[in-house]
Structure 1
Amino acid sequence: MEEELKNFIKVWVSAIISISYCYHISTRIKAGVFRLLFVLPVCVLFLVAPLFFSSVHFSGSIAFFLSWLANFKLILFAFDQGPLFPYPPSLSRFVCFTCFAIKQQQNPNSQNDQLPKWVFALKVAIFGILLHVYDYKQHLSPMVLLVLYSLYIYLELEIFFMVVKVLVSITLGCDLEPQSNEPYLATSLQDFWGRRWNLIVPAILRPAVYVPARRITEQKMSSDQSLFLGVLATFIVSGVVHELIFFCFTREMPTGEVTWFFVLHGVCTAVEVVVKRTAFARRWRMSPIVSRVLTVGFVVVTSGWLFFPPLIRSGMIERLVNEILLSIDLVKP
């Protein structure tokens, strides 16, 4: 653990220096391919950074924040696009907005539809219960285990992102956008992926993949076909990136299951978006309760089919739980 902590500090110090370098070249090199050439060495460093760790949480957080989010943000930044443009007013904000899954709140008065703060406390309590329930997983049915895995991954990410958001918000002294918006309330796949789950990701993939794909395809095909291919391309890229993150977790060669999970959701989301534009869909509306059950059920079932198997086979979920329990033991008085 001591060696892991040393590597963790070294990686983040290197990341801060590298991002500071990117911030300063923005004033000296015009946006475009030439600036991208100066940014690419940083992207390569961020790509290999997770391989210095054996801890699932350390390698996973570095893979998500640096290899995935920071790299995409910096590539977009090279062309004056994405979440880092317009440039944050200070180096500290530029570093934080590059490294973490955060975005400055554009309209602080738009938080009226968020759930009460006690809901987060309830999530923490449920997460604590899940840690103990996991000890009895051998007595649980496959379907209950599937729900358990889904809840565990969601709640750990939710708590982790909230802690990061609070710490960064206090450090920077500014309001930040929520990282997610209660995904279990999604009424459609478009709602789930685009407006509720891990909101910084669609904010990056939209200008990086969806918009260019639409711009290229709409010149040669209909609007619906272009939309379909744009959505599908976005999910394929997301699938490939998740394969990279899973490799950092498991150190095992990708099986393609995670990519197929996102291809499946990309096709279904694209079909859903196209169908919603028809006159029939505008006249007919499904009950919100039914649509939520179908949406969340589809996500959970397909996760059990394609998303979780690589993690279960590698023992990664057990390692996640064990590392959390070890951390709790270390901080106990």
Structure 2
Amino acid sequence: MDTELHNFIFVWISVVTALIYCRYISKLIPNGPKRLFFFLPVILLFLLLPLRLTTITLSGLTAFFVTWLCNLKLLLLARGKGPLAPSPPLSLPLFVAIASLPIKISPSLGSVASKNGGGNGLKSPANYITKCLLVVSLFPLLQWSDYVHEKVMMTAYSIHMYITLEVALVVVGAAAGRLIGVTVEPQFNEPYLATSLQDYWGRRWNLMVTSILRPSVYEPIRSASGHIMGRQWAHLPAVLAAFAVSALMHELIFYYIGRKEPTWVVTRFFLLHGVAVAAEVAAKKALHGTRWRLPADVSRLLTVGFVVVTGFWLFLPPLLRCDAMAKTRRETIAIIEFVKGFVFVPL
């Protein structure tokens, strides 16, 4: 564990140093291919850095923050767009924080807080406490997984993964918000309440990814497709392209945490959902103006059911192939033992 922490510190010192370089490059070189050329070594570095980490938590989060989100932000910055290119320019601390973490600046803190149901863009404390208690209640299952049915374990692991990811991102964002005065980017909006796949992926699940994929992938593809297919259907290839990029990034993250060659099963999961979302959007356009609509409870059940069934079929197997459940169990037990040793210090 000591070696992992040393590697983690090295990785993030490298990230900060590289982003300081990018900040000054963006001030010296105008938007366009030349700026992108000077960013390419950093983008490559950010693809390699997670390989120094082995724990599922540190390598997974670092890959998500740096390899995925930060690289897309740098690609946008090369074009003079995105969260790193506001007017007036960001200060150096804000630039580094917004580039490397899932946070954003809010023009009006009050409006964001009220929109998301809590101060500084967070939900109520009771929401997070309830979810943390649910994760704690799953610890016995993780410790005794050999004696529990596989489907029950997959369900428990899915819940554990979702809540752990949400809480971890909230902690990181809230800490950064306290230090440098930015608002937390809401990551999840109770995805189990989604009434359509478009609602699930666009407004409820991992919203930071949505906010970055939209300007970096969806909008350029939609603009290009509009000249070929017309504006009415230009969004369909754009949706598929956004899901394809998400699929490739998940394959990469799964490689970081498992060090196993991809089977491209998780790519099929995201392409299937991309096709389903595109078909859903097309159906809504075809039915626009009619009164036909499913009841909310029925549409919610169908949406969540589709996500769960396809997730068990195509998403969880490649993740479990990376020994994710075993690693999670070991890391969870290690954290429990660390907390016990910290709290129950002999006098």
Q: Deviations over 1:244-301 (max 9, x none)?
A: 1110011000000111000000000011111111235742222222212211111111
Distance 1:226 1:174, change over 3 A: closer
Q: Distance in 2 between matches of 1:141 and 1:282?
A: 46
Q: Which amino acid aligns with 2:228?
A: K
Q: Which residue number corresponds to residue 97 of structure 1?
A: 98
Q: CA deviation at 1:170?
A: 0.7
- SS state of the match for residue 11, structure 2? helix
- SS state of the match for residue 27, structure 2? coil
Q: Which amino acid aligns with 2:295?
A: S
Q: CA deviation at 1:96?
A: 0.8
Q: Which residue number corresponds to residue 43 of structure 1?
A: 43
Q: Which residue number corresponds to residue 63 of structure 2?
A: 63
Mapped pair 1:223 → 2:223? no
Q: Which residue number corresponds to residue 129 of structure 1?
A: 137
Q: Which amino acid aligns with 1:241?
A: M
Q: Which residue number corresponds to residue 247 of structure 2?
A: 239
Q: Distance in 1 between matches of 2:6 and 2:332?
A: 19
Q: Distance in 2 between matches of 1:104 and 1:184?
A: 27
Distance 1:187 1:106, change over 3 A: farther
- SS state of the match for residue 239, structure 2? helix
| RMSD between superposed Cα atoms in Å | 1.7
Q: Which amino acid aligns with 1:204?
A: I
Mapped pair 1:173 → 2:181? yes
- Greater CA deviation, 229-238 or 306-315? 306-315
Among 150, 163, 166, the alignment partner of 2:171 is 163
- Give the TM-score taking structure 1 as reference length: 0.95
Q: Deviations over 1:17-52 (max 9, x none)?
A: 110111112221101111011111111111000111
Mapped pair 1:146 → 2:147? no
- SS state of the match for residue 225, structure 1? coil
Q: Is the 8 A contact 2:104 2:182 kept in 1?
A: no
Q: Is the 8 A contact 1:147 1:300 kept in 2?
A: no
Q: Which amino acid aligns with 1:95?
A: V
Q: Is the 8 A contact 1:36 1:75 kept in 2?
A: yes
Q: Distance in 2 between matches of 1:134 and 1:190?
A: 32
Q: Which amino acid aligns with 1:181?
A: N
Q: Distance in 1 between matches of 2:77 and 2:54?
A: 31
Q: Which residue number corresponds to residue 186 of structure 1?
A: 194
* Matched positions, count: 333
Among 85, 108, 111, the alignment partner of 1:109 is 111
Q: Which residue number corresponds to residue 301 of structure 1?
A: 309
Q: Which residue number corresponds to residue 310 of structure 1?
A: 318
Q: Which amino acid aligns with 1:91?
A: L
Q: Distance in 2 between matches of 1:129 and 1:23?
A: 45
Structure 2 stretches lacking a partner, 5+ long: 118-122
Q: Which residue number corresponds to residue 24 of structure 2?
A: 24
Q: Distance in 2 between matches of 1:279 and 1:55?
A: 48
- Greater CA deviation, 209-218 or 113-122? 113-122
Q: Which amino acid aligns with 1:269?
A: V
Q: Distance in 2 between matches of 1:33 and 1:42?
A: 15
Q: Distance in 1 between matches of 2:165 and 2:277?
A: 23
Mapped pair 1:258 → 2:266? yes
Q: Which residue number corresponds to residue 269 of structure 1?
A: 277
Q: Is the 8 A contact 2:141 2:148 kept in 1?
A: no
Mapped pair 1:200 → 2:203? no
Q: Deviations over 1:40-66 (max 9, x none)?
A: 111111100011122222211221111
Q: Which amino acid aligns with 2:143?
A: D
Distance 1:281 1:63, change over 3 A: farther
Q: CA deviation at 1:144?
A: 2.7
- SS state of the match for residue 90, structure 2? coil
Q: Distance in 2 between matches of 1:232 and 1:256?
A: 16
Distance 1:81 1:142, change over 3 A: same
Q: Which residue number corresponds to residue 120 of structure 2?
A: none
Q: CA deviation at 1:119?
A: 1.1
- Greater CA deviation, 142-151 or 161-170? 142-151
Q: CA deviation at 1:131?
A: 1.8
Q: Is the 8 A contact 1:150 1:300 kept in 2?
A: no
Q: Deviations over 1:143-168 (max 9, x none)?
A: 43332122111011011011101110
Q: Which amino acid aligns with 1:278?
A: A
Q: Which residue number corresponds to residue 81 of structure 2?
A: 81
Q: CA deviation at 1:106?
A: 3.9
Percent identical across equivalent pairs? 43
Q: Distance in 1 between matches of 2:230 and 2:46?
A: 39
Q: CA deviation at 1:324?
A: 2.3
Distance 1:229 1:112, change over 3 A: closer
- SS state of the match for residue 258, structure 1? helix
